[in-house]
Amino acid sequence: MYCFSLVRCHIRLIAPVTLKPSLRYSTGNTQTLRFLRRNHVKGVVLSRPVIPLPVQRCAIHTTPKREAGLPVILIALWKPIAKFVAVVMGRGIRQWWGTLPTHQKGTVWDHFRRNKYRYFTGIGTFTAAFGVFYVSNLRETPITKRKRFLPFTNYQYHKIVEYEYSTILQTYDGKFLPVTHPAYSRVLRVANRLVKSNGDIKEMSDKQWTVAVVQDETVNAFVLPTGHIFVLTGLLDKVGASDEQLGFILGHEMAHSLLSHGAETVLQDYFLQAVVIVFMCFLWALMPNDGIAQVSDWFSNKIVDIFLEKPRSRMLEEEADFVGMHLAAKACFDVRESSMFFEMVHLTKKIKDEEELPVYLSTHPADDARASNLNSLVPQFLQLRDQCGCARLQTADPRQQLAPLRSLVEEKERKRARTT
């Protein structure tokens, strides 16, 4: 298992390379945000950078070529246009078939029977071509080495993300904390540790990371595929003074970016919708009227959401937890605290009698199951932490700090059992 310290040793043996600032920062004021929107995509260095983080590189990179792939405009417009076409075609076929005389309906069926082998050949050819296209666009994730279908490139997906990025900047305009704020310095420090210690991961060192802290009570943090880290102060209040928990949470969010989960989700959504749209076309053609077709369409969409999309989302969250633990361990954070945030949220809900969303309706694993899964990973990543030469941890397990909350929940459940 390679740690960043080993990579530094390796770099000394090769030709010197120019250090590249990997983490750049905005001051949070409106003028800088406008500058960021205008120039980020072009790769222009932000004005007034704060403590650029050097990440050593093992090779000299020139400006990357734009890779071939699906046109961005096609990716953006495919879903709404295809749905509209499916409904129009389905209704058109239903109306055409309904007005067709009986003897002509028989003629249509005879035509299909006579030419069935041609249709089967066409379907088979299309299936084989798609199979080749699918296999040729399988790409491997870093760290977990999972293969997934990604037919468009990072450049294409980043072009799609640009609009979302501009929208976020406009939404939080006036709420960004300045770089002199302690909360900003804290997030910056934790992000620096993660980026520095994982510089041997190509996807980590290739990104232009930026940090923004937003004054907002929502408990949330997220990282865009382009490397923009957004942390809301509500999350900082929730984790308290623990940089260890914050380190894992940022590692988890950065993992989504490193693994290109956003691009994977968008692509799978589009191809899943392609199948659903074909089904929708048949549905609108076969149903006797528009009302029944609409209800059937809504029901089929719910089935797809519950049994395909949400399970896939939970799987990606678990993968990001695994990679987040990996990043945090190499950055010498105490990975034993990785589960504490989710267990604390679960116990707090129990104490307040708050109802939790059923797992099958959620895009994330249940908090208690998530904490249990992270606890099962702790021995593996404590070993990785030791291999990276990190300082020894204190003997006391920080997870014991939640013992009073656990006792309170157990007592409450005992009282509830006695009353029932």
Residue 77's pLDDT is 67
Residue 38's pLDDT is 39
pLDDT band at 240 (very low <50, low <70, confident <90, very high): confident
On whether the CB atoms of residues 11 and 204 are closer than 8 A, the answer is: no
**Res. 319: pLDDT tops 70:** yes
126-152 tens-digit pLDDT = 999 989 988 998 889 999 999 998 876
Residue 348's pLDDT is 92
pLDDT band at 86 (very low <50, low <70, confident <90, very high): confident
Other C-beta atoms within 10 Å of 217: how many?
Answer: 11
Active-site positions? 253
In angstroms, how far is CA 198 from the centroid of its own chain? 19
Mean pLDDT, range 169-190, rounded to an integer: 95
Mean pLDDT, range 177-185, rounded to an integer: 95
**Distance from C-alpha of 250 to C-alpha of 258, rounded to nearest angstrom:** 12
**Res. 190: pLDDT tops 90:** yes
Residue 90's pLDDT is 84
**Distance from C-alpha of 164 to C-alpha of 40, rounded to nearest angstrom:** 13
397-409 tens-digit pLDDT = 999 999 999 999 9
Angle between the 261-286 and 310-330 helix axes, to the nearest 10 degrees?
180
- Residue 20's DSSP bridge partners are 55
**Res. 307: pLDDT tops 50:** yes
Mean model confidence pLDDT for the chain = 80
**Res. 417: pLDDT tops 90:** no
Supply 245's token pair. 């928990």
pLDDT band at 72 (very low <50, low <70, confident <90, very high): low
Claim: this prediction has a pTM higher than 0.85: no
Q: Is the dihedral of CA 140, 143, 146, 150 positive or negative?
A: negative
Residue 314's pLDDT is 96
